[in-house]
Structure 1
Amino acid sequence: MFAEVGSAREWTRACSSAFVPLRVDAAAPDFRASLRQVRLAPGITLAAVTSRASSVMRDAASIATSPREDVLMSFHRRGTGVVTQNGRQARLSPGGCVLYDASTPYTLAFPGQMSEFVLQVPRETIARVGNGFTDLTARVLRPSAPLRALSALVSSVDMAADRRDGAEDELIAESVAPLLRASLELGGVGAEPPIEAELLAMALRLFIDERAMDPELTPAGLAATFHVSLRHVQKVFERYFDTGAAAYIRTRRLEGAQELLRRRCTVAEAAHRSGFLDVDTFSRAFKREFGVTPSGFAAAH
């Protein structure tokens, strides 16, 4: 689903269709907003949302007319906002994550331009967090390894792809529930449980696949991003991918360079755009990986 609108009324229709029935108020006459949503699995969707200043409300009347047992989670990327539910307020800022429940009235208020990902799942997906669930809504979730992995997983989804990879979307959806439950269990006081190695492996892989051509991407940076040790990152790669983290990054860069050469990029341009700092290093790595020089590959393709 994709929607690009220029009024609060159109935005109300778009959001109600994508998420749950609700109402939008926008003060500025030049209101603009866009929404792109993908279905990862039955009942599980992810949306990329941008809008100018607005207030989004799901009230008792909307709930009575269209009751839903869905849970929504905002991964805020830009701007600020406030989530109000169950008598509490949570302030949204870039990097923050907040949960809210479609079965209870809530308000989302954004004073200016904003951007966020919104993950929507059936409430039963996270039922195992226990009776304290309502205490977790409208609260900024505490940073943790599972939450960091979930954020990376969400960010890795190619929202603009013309054709969806059903197998990959299903794999992502299967990983959402345990990561979300682990993130919510850390909403209270207690020791941080370790993230499951298999889930971490997939999150690391998706994170690298999304950012492999960034020359600043390193195994140490991965460890810092996911709040684990560098040694743990290396062990995960050796176990699940039979290679090291640095080698995996290099391979993904070289595969990206192959595609650039197929598109008639020069060798120097392919080296630079795929994340290599100099052409000689790129050429040697390319020949070791594929048995042919970049120029030879380009000429053959």
Structure 2
Amino acid sequence: MSVARTKSLIADSDDHFAVLIAIQEGDEVFTVGNSRMELTAGDMVLWDSHQPAKFEIDRMVRKRSLMIPGQVFDLIRGPKTRSGKLLSSPASQLLGDYLGVLTNSVQALPQQSLSSARNATLELIAGMLRSEPGGEPGAGTAVALRTAIESWIDAHLRDNAITPAQVAAAHSVSVRTVNRVFAENGDTLGAVVRRRRLMRARADLEATQHSVAAIAARWNFSDASHLTRSFKQQFGLSPSAFRAELRDRTTEVTATEFTATTGEHLLLPAS
């Protein structure tokens, strides 16, 4: 039995997801581009739904699929992150175990816990992508430094400015080292700070009734217009439109059980 997502199907669809596929039982042949992989229990692979793909099985397969909206995945991916990549680090094993727990508990989570679960999932995915060979700086020291810097950034997002010199001094490394840690993944310190401030602003838009101007001031955007422009550039809609969409949304997370070949699917909410 085979199922294919063809170019014509992609052209007819407005949806775009990054999909993490974790095989739990059985075997599946997954083909994307020129890559053909034979997946077995315990394997995990990343797939961009904008790329044609083919799935082939000859008996029942149980798998878990995490569907991440494309605009959300863009916040944590790097230029070296590629579709059709077999994920095999300890971090991917940790993520696989976590998804099992999430699948079993998400329906029972109170509303206020859903955002926390979503953010924890994104952090685990970002850490996994950094730790994969070829993902970000490959050496353990470089990965640890990037992780430490990002934790420091999160603790200082409300500071007026975060500069390479400040980060370097806080971690006893040179400015060149700080810049290289981010540049090796096609990133910059400034871009990372901006994205993380936008994520905090988005969380405030969801969880509070604070004005856009107040949220902009809290996360060091120059004014409401600056936050609105940056937010729309990153997420494709303005802060006010984002809040309106939240009000209209009736289901934040879906976790549906499928039998036969499809397994368990988790849809990570866009916000």
Which category of TM-score, normalised to the shorter sequence, fits these structures?
0.3 to 0.5
Structure having greater relative contact order (Cα 8 Å, sep ≥ 6):
2
Larger of the two Rg values belongs to structure? 1
